[in-house]
Homo-oligomer: A and B are copies of this chain.
Amino acid sequence: MRRPARIQDVAAAAGVSVTTVSNVLNRPERVNARTVERVRSIIADLDYVPHPGAVGLRAAHARSIGLVLPDIANSFYARIAKGAADAAYRQGYALSLCHSDDDPTREQGYLSMLVEQRTSGVVVAPLSADPGRLERLRRRGVPLVLADRARPTEEGCSVSVDDVAGGALAVRHLLEGGARSVLVVNGARGIRQCADRYQGARQAARRLRGVTLEQVVTERMTVECGAEAVRRLEALPDAVFCTNDFLAAGVCRGLAERGADVPGDVRVVGYGDLDVAGFAALTTVRQPVEELGAAAIELLLDEVEAGADHAHEARVFAPGLVVRETA
């Protein structure tokens, strides 16, 4: 049997110093990314396993971050996870995936587990905005970044998308195309994102004289509810802004049933740029979700590593318009 590889063997094979190998293991953020990749690949080839007393466990906490998401199978949160996983990998941190199901008890259970395991910090994307629940998260004393929800910087870091700007972007595009009557097909009023997108739509509509903006609230944000909303209309508007892509795909279907041409008779814009948007050729609002996930990790690791030098930040991302065929 071969003798186990030592750190010196890794350094020699990679053509770097022992200190660099040690930095790759302990402080990879100080080493350039290509060197980190090369050293890790050689570590793998040589089956080198650093002694636990020498690495990682010497630190007060594990090099790991918790990521708490309400539903990982939802593509919005899956894209946050992708951006977060890439950023954590670049900085040499493991990312602990916690699927909270938007259940506060389970969320707290996960946080207990993460605290027990001496996790460096946590990124949480809460679905509901119960302030008591957010306060309980804060009390745990672990660095915590909120994702997909802005908060005052004195409470900590957050990353979010400007949904007011997204709603305004969508409606401005419809108005620039000549629409004067715009219908907003929206989800429940209690959903923060829906309220923000509608607020943006109203801001854009108010900027131009003679524009009417009406709103229909659907029970759920599904294709079927979008189609049903159109079936119930007495008169068709010039344009429809839907606060997600499923509603928009349904609206297109409902318009087809009524013999209306999209975009000839009615223009339609969706929100989210989900898979269905590509299939239905929807013009839609795209959120930089991977960037959001990556930024959450960056802010968290700054707090973990800079300690007292860290300043909380609320980073807000601007959405963009993807123009396809429906508007």
Q: Which positions in A face B, CB cutoff 8 Å?
A: 25, 36-37, 40-41, 43-45, 47-50, 52, 55-57, 62-64, 66-67, 71-75, 78-79, 81-82, 85-86, 89, 92, 94-99, 105-106, 108-119, 136, 139-141, 223, 246, 249, 274-276, 278-280, 290
Contact = CB atoms under 8 A, between A and B. Distances in A.
A64 B52 CA distance: 16
Contact of A92 (B55, B113, B136): B113
A112 B45 CA distance: 10
Given A63-B117, A97-B95, A118-B52, A40 B85 contact: no
Contact of A116 (B49, B119, B280): B49
B75 A94 contact: no
A67 B97 contact: yes
A85 B113 contact: no
Most B CB contacts (10 A, CB to CB) among A44, A249, A280 go to A44
Contacts of A116: 25, 49-50, 55-56
Contacts of A249: 279
A98 to B, nearest CB: 7
B114 A94 contact: yes
Given A55-B116, A96-B96, A40 B275 contact: no
Contacts of A78: 72-75, 78, 81
Contacts of A75: 73, 75, 78, 275
